A and B are shown apart, each in its own frame.
Chain A
């Protein structure tokens, strides 16, 4: 069969947009789920023009956990027997704000972690039933170590990465792959408001790496770009007594 049946949770994210274009070129069937109908419509039209066998979109606020059962059901009816799911939604937490406002901190944790737990749990039977496929989730290198400057976002992503380790073991016996992606900072809509430094990478190469791993690879965890694996090895190695004195 040509292409994949791909559901993207967070269909207007920059990285997802690039991954979707690669999938479209392979003639995939794609469903974009996101909040903004105008953007989804443009993005879906673009995927169709670029070779997608079909491109649908569904409006949903994924931070609203109560809508998830309906969203999963809708995804199943639109794209029957989809084999690939990509989780690419998220918000970049303003840590200073989260330090002061409890509600804000909790809503950020909901968006970046617990809402994904909800969706992934609802999706598990679908994949266990079909006994094949790939669930790709974009986590972050930020989840590998709590840091002074973004520990709220980091803890959500850290929780997500840990959840995925167990989730992977659960689906492994059904023949389903779970791919955790840990990108470094990427030039995207999510990071548009923060000043960019040399660590930032464009979305296109990150997406290429994700798509290659998602469709042909066999890894469980992938860093994008690859050098982040070594950077994070170093960062994880910093002893706690030293790390607490650093403000990075």
Chain B
């Protein structure tokens, strides 16, 4: 316990794998990290001279959660559920509570989060700051639509209660605000009632984008709560599986007992493991397993919503250099832009294993910088191969911007200020609410100054 030896947080910093983003590109090294255990300790940590940023579980892909040479506030110690009203379906919790912890508490009592991203290893604070969306966007909108109040700490020490009625403009800026308007201490949001922890799911194969569009429209209107499509973008013509699901109206609420523990990727695999050939094989195999499985099946909600969570640290599959995600949305009438992108991807034979397409609904989020908007969203992932990868993404940017689309900050690691401005016209309005002592790698890249 001698002075001068590095503290635990500092030692973790020396280990380069802590406090990175999920895509592991770009790499960043904060100059210091605080890990407050209580909400009342957070304001003290903001007195450091460096600019600060809240860091949750590091599941954003790009650099919205990074603060190179700055100060990170690790919120994972703020993990208390302050109040869970099981009658009304409301929960108030500290910002570091993960969806996993929350689900363990609410699912057995008949509630589910109103909106969930594809992993449960996100914090409530992160879900708000990125205004995350899920497979039910066409019906439920984004996570921000269900948030009622946010307790926000500004760097001047003020703690503000933000809601649609109180500090409403700061409320709108904080949802989807990428953690730049203050540190979210706690939040209150509504839950969705469920009567079973099972999901009734059906996978329908499709060929071509128009086929997908027709299916998506039909299912969204037919009342399927969750819809999403996985696509094989390396096939000669686009093919994929369209998944539609609903909560089972009746059934068990408990977790199925299984002794199975998910696999863990122990270390960043060599880059050649995920090469165009292996990706193509995986894609083909995935397509045919799902295409041959006819009919409706019942699965536990974890395997429907969080299939990737069963492999811990799956991002290590992409090797040391990491990977990039590209998620954009374009208006439905310009959906052909996505065909361009998919064609370019197929031509390059570089491959993306986790290609996801979804039709967004028209629910409006209170967020100023909300990514989801009516249209079709496409998410691709590419192993990071240096300059060539960045160049392809630049060509994608032009296609998306010309089509009147937008990019998703939570998945971005490289878009320029012009693309960000084109994606988010209300950016100037947002800038009024910035906290002067907060910043991130992402913001330094896209901000106007």
Contact = CB atoms under 8 A, between A and B. Distances in A.
Determine the interface band of chain B, counting residues with CB < 8 A from chain A.
20 to 34
A187 interface: yes
Interface string A99-135: 0000000000000000000000000000000000000
A46 B92 CA distance: 10
Nearest to B80: A46
Contact of B39 (A38, A45, A48): A38
A12 B41 CA distance: 13
B235 interface: no
A45 B80 contact: yes
A50 interface: yes
Given A197-B5, A200-B8, A192 B37 contact: yes
Contacts of B7: 195-196
Contacts of A49: 81, 83-84, 91, 105
Q: Tell me what chain B mostly uses at the interface: helix, strand, loop, or mixed.
A: mixed
Contacts of A149: 1
A45 B1 CA distance: 35
Nearest to B92: A45
Interface in B27-82: 37-40, 80-82
Interface string A180-196: 00000101110010111
A240 to B, nearest CB: 22
B391 interface: no
A240 B157 CA distance: 51
A30 interface: no
A39 interface: yes
A150 B1 CA distance: 10
B82 A46 contact: yes
B386 interface: no
Interface in B1-34: 1-9, 11
Contacts of A206: none
Contact of A12 (B38, B81, B94): B38
Interface string A189-219: 1001011110110000000000000000000
A42 interface: yes
Task: Give the residue among A36, A46, A150 with the most B Cβ atoms within 10 A.
Answer: A46
Contact of A42 (B4, B6, B9, B82): B82
A45 B81 contact: yes
Contacts of B9: 196
Contact of A14 (B37, B84, B94): B37
A42 B83 CA distance: 8
A187 B37 CA distance: 11
Contact of A41 (B5, B82, B105): B82
Contacts of B105: 49-51
B39 to A, nearest CB: 7
A53 interface: no
Nearest to B94: A42
Interface string A18-50: 000000000000000000101101110110111
Contact of A195 (B2, B39, B81): B2
Task: Give the residue among A41, A42, A189 with the most B Cβ atoms within 10 A.
Answer: A42
A189 B41 CA distance: 10
Contacts of B5: 195, 197
Task: Give the residue among B1, B37, B81 with the most A Cβ atoms within 10 A.
Answer: B1
A118 B5 CA distance: 38
Contact of A45 (B2, B3, B11, B82): B82
Given A45-B80, A195-B1, A199-B1, 19 more contacts: A12-B38, A38-B38, A39-B38, A42-B38, A43-B80, A45-B82, A45-B84, A46-B81, A48-B83, A49-B81, A49-B84, A49-B105, A51-B105, A188-B37, A194-B1, A195-B6, A196-B8, A196-B11, A200-B8
Interface of A: 12, 14, 36, 38-39, 41-43, 45-46, 48-51, 149-150, 185, 187-189, 192, 194-197, 199-200
- Listed from nearest, the 4 A-B pairs whose CB atoms lie closest are A196-B8, A46-B80, A49-B81, A49-B84
23 contacts: A12-B38, A36-B38, A38-B39, A38-B40, A39-B38, A41-B82, A42-B80, A48-B83, A48-B84, A49-B81, A49-B83, A49-B105, A149-B1, A150-B1, A185-B1, A189-B38, A192-B37, A195-B4, A195-B5, A196-B7, A196-B8, A196-B9, A196-B11
Interface of B: 1-9, 11, 37-40, 80-84, 91-92, 94, 105
